[in-house]
Structure 1
Amino acid sequence: MAKYVQIFLTVFIVFLLKENVFAVDELQECFNYLNTQNYEQAISEGQKAVKLYPVNHLVYVCLGRAYLSREEFNLAIDNLKQAEKYAISYSDLMYIYNWLGIAYDNKGAVEQALSYYNKSLSLARNLKERDMEAATINNIAEIFHNKGDFEKALSFYKEYLIVISSERYKAFAYNNIALIYAAKGDFKTAIEYLQKSLDIYEKNNDYHAYAHVELNMGNTYRKLKDFDIAQKYLFDGLEKIQQLGDKEWEGTAYKYIGWLHLDQGNKELSKEYFNKALEIFKSIGVQKDIADVSMALSIINAK
């Protein structure tokens, strides 16, 4: 959900770390571990940094994001509210409110999430931060997407496409619009939007994002029962993701491939890939994906 917002927050953090030289060494360790998806170590370094800089909002932002990545939502919210308390500018608050929205959203507290997203959106508009305005609109769209209100979600995604100036971030919206059409069962339209996204990422040499969309493309072709094309996209995406060291999406690739083999009636290969996915998700503590894969394995064993 938060991929797009995280791009902007990463830039925001790097800028503030340069401005707050006294805190760079300790905080940088926390963010370095966070960016390599070593959430446990990020939390450990963040807790050390809190003792050194108890009123620095960036410490709590790092801890909040690390707990959020581990799906420890209450701890994420507690730390992000501390970040809110010690924020020193409206710009700080704009980002922090967005992360609080993400935390509440993932916790399932939709109304609180919308409240914080709207606070972030208001600040973004007042500060004329068009990119963050677009990011927040995207997050609101995803709430309606997850609620199954596809038409409202599409209306927000269209607003997002008007606000955003970067072609690269339009590609992100095309991917999300594709997921809505796939959820509606319109796989051909989904593939058209995914291809738009792939074309932009390829043009901009963004191979990481390209690999994410490629995996979504493969999974969409799987749902269409076009297994040969699905396999091509899934294994190509998996290879790219492994080269990039993105463990969470490597697990997602294994999960999609597990479903592909299950759809083809190959129970043993399906179990093999689901178990690979489960091992990765357990190693990085992504509870929702652990539950998804565990359920898939239960279905196979029941059969």
Structure 2
Amino acid sequence: MSKKAPLLAGALLIFAQGATAFADEQGNSCLQLLKKGDHPAAISSATQALKGAPEDAGLRYCLGEAYRRSGDLTAALQELQRAEKLTTDKLSLMRVHNRLGMIMSTLDNVEAALKHYGIYRTLAKELGRIDDEASALNNMAVIYYNRSQYSLALMYFENSLKLSPDDSKNAATYGNIATVYLGRGENDKAIEYQQKAISIDRKNNDAHSLSVDLLNLGSMYRLTKSYDNAKQCLHDGLDGVRKAQDAYWEGMAFRYIGWLHSDRGELPEAKKWMTGAAEIFAKIGAASDAEKTRKDLEALLNPAPPAPAAQTPAEPKESDPSYWPSRGRS
């Protein structure tokens, strides 16, 4: 559970807010391309502009964010760390630390992620930016969720909602609360909150976030054996993250679809999708997700013998919260 999440997350981005922190003239072209979802063009624009201004923090930030959205986490981390060193104003620095936290979460560097989110939250409080403080709480909750600390995660998510009365900004938080209920085995409650997130995505015309939330809803439907609904949501979500060129969530879509085929006894199809997921995760450096997917694939190819009748059945794989990536907020 993207990430999912995770990142964990793939992240819910409200880039219009983040862009104002780096609205310098040189970075404007890259930022505009990024807002349009044209990640390759944004990378090209920033790379070209940096030849004449290698110490421009705004360009480094935009290039790092474009790499992050396209799934090249190694390059994203390098550029955002450069932006951190070059940035002088608090607002811009706040944005950089949030993105660094998202990357570190996806790379499973939990302590570094918490450190960056903590700085993000502190700067947000100093600047009186309540929405960003809410985002910081949300992103920290994602980490507690992935540690299976469900009560603590739920508390942080709910505190995030209290700081964010504008429901139009709460799709990611509702989706993350859904994953907490899923981790606790409360599937109906999980679906209820995931549908709240999707309703907000549609009102906001946020195609990328809608795609991510559809993927999670699809896998929730799968758990309740509503397979037709699951298939529709999963393939709609896959189409959306492909259009957004979000490689991490494309990998998650492949994994989710692989599970669906496995549950339906369609093992050749399950193998195909799981193999594709592992390849995507390995390519973008999401090593933990790649390893989990390879283990799923191995279990499909070499199923364990049935347990003796008196033995307690093993917990289902979905009980591991890292299978359900939550999403950060920008």
Deviation at 1:193, TM superposition (A): 1.0
Does 1:13 pair with 2:13?
A: no
2:135 equivalent in structure 1: 135
1:258 equivalent in structure 2: 258
Q: Do the aligned residues in 1 keep the contact of 2:181 with 2:187 (CA within 8 Å)?
A: yes
- Matched to 2:83, the amino acid is A
Q: Do the aligned residues in 2 keep the contact of 1:5 with 1:135 (CA within 8 Å)?
A: no
Q: Do the aligned residues in 1 keep the contact of 2:154 with 2:177 (CA within 8 Å)?
A: yes
Deviation at 1:34, TM superposition (A): 10
Identity %: 32
Deviation at 1:178, TM superposition (A): 0.5
2:73 equivalent in structure 1: 71
Over 3 Å counting, the alpha-carbon distance change for 1:102 and 1:15 in structure 2 is closer
Q: Which has the higher helix share?
A: 1
CA RMSD of aligned residues (A): 3.2
Deviation at 1:196, TM superposition (A): 1.9
Separation in structure 2 between the aligned mates of residue 158 and residue 138 of structure 1, nearest angstrom: 9
Separation in structure 2 between the aligned mates of residue 244 and residue 64 of structure 1, nearest angstrom: 17
Separation in structure 2 between the aligned mates of residue 144 and residue 108 of structure 1, nearest angstrom: 13
Secondary structure of the residue that 1:53 maps to in structure 2?
A: coil
Deviation at 1:52, TM superposition (A): 2.0
Q: Which runs of 5 or more residues in structure 2 are unaligned?
A: 1-6, 304-330
- Matched to 2:235, the amino acid is F
Mean CA deviation greater in 75-84 or 239-248: 239-248
Q: Deviations over 1:212-239 (max 9, x none)?
A: 2222111012123332332343234345
Separation in structure 2 between the aligned mates of residue 79 and residue 244 of structure 1, nearest angstrom: 21
Does 1:151 pair with 2:151?
A: yes
Equivalence map 1:166-185=2 (5 Å) = 166-185=166-185
Separation in structure 1 between the aligned mates of residue 218 and residue 195 of structure 2, nearest angstrom: 11
Q: Do the aligned residues in 2 keep the contact of 1:201 with 1:210 (CA within 8 Å)?
A: yes
Deviation at 1:166, TM superposition (A): 2.6
Q: Deviations over 1:122-172 (max 9, x none)?
A: 111121112211111111111111111111110010011011133122222
| Count of equivalent residues | 294
Mean CA deviation greater in 149-158 or 95-104: 95-104
- Matched to 2:25, the amino acid is V
Does 1:214 pair with 2:214?
A: yes
Q: Do the aligned residues in 2 keep the contact of 1:141 with 1:157 (CA within 8 Å)?
A: yes
TM-score w.r.t. the length of structure 1 is 0.81
Separation in structure 1 between the aligned mates of residue 151 and residue 276 of structure 2, nearest angstrom: 36
TM-score w.r.t. the length of structure 2 is 0.75
1:299 equivalent in structure 2: 299
Q: Do the aligned residues in 2 keep the contact of 1:121 with 1:132 (CA within 8 Å)?
A: yes
Q: Do the aligned residues in 2 keep the contact of 1:77 with 1:103 (CA within 8 Å)?
A: yes
2:106 equivalent in structure 1: 106
Q: Do the aligned residues in 2 keep the contact of 1:87 with 1:93 (CA within 8 Å)?
A: yes
- Matched to 2:132, the amino acid is M
Mean CA deviation greater in 165-174 or 254-263: 165-174
Separation in structure 2 between the aligned mates of residue 281 and residue 232 of structure 1, nearest angstrom: 23
2:321 equivalent in structure 1: none
2:195 equivalent in structure 1: 195
Deviation at 1:182, TM superposition (A): 0.9
Q: Which runs of 5 or more residues in structure 1 are unaligned?
A: none
